[in-house]
Amino acid sequence: MARRPNRPTTLPEELPFSPQIAPYPIEVEAGRKYFWCSCGLSVTQPWCDGSHAGTAYEPIAIVPQVTGTFYMCGCKKSENKPYCFGNCSQLGYEGMVADG
């Protein structure tokens, strides 16, 4: 099996790997198909680059119904994958905590 050129040569001990403990706010186009990285190894976060090959993980496909900013999960621990569900706040992310 060919190795993706950008894939780390040493895999993290625990998958899914969290490339960041925060969502990726990203512009998406309605009707276009996207593949969200679920393993955390892709270097084109939050999208899949094929680095999951050989792991138990597969990308999650989405086709947005609207054009706009989506908050894609970056910690890979969301209860509503592929979207941020706030689980990152339990991992230390404070950006989504509402003021008093």
Q: How far apart are CA 1 and CA 33, in angstroms?
A: 26
Which residue number, 4 or 89, has a Cβ lying nearer to ligand FES? Answer: 89
Counting contacts by CB under 6 A, is residue 87 touching ligand FES? yes
Interacting positions 35-74 with ligand FES (CB under 6 A): 73-74
Counting contacts by CB under 6 A, is residue 88 touching ligand FES? yes
Which residue number, 55 or 87, has a Cβ lying nearer to ligand FES? Answer: 87
As measured in angstroms, the least distance from the Cβ of 49 to ligand FES is: 19
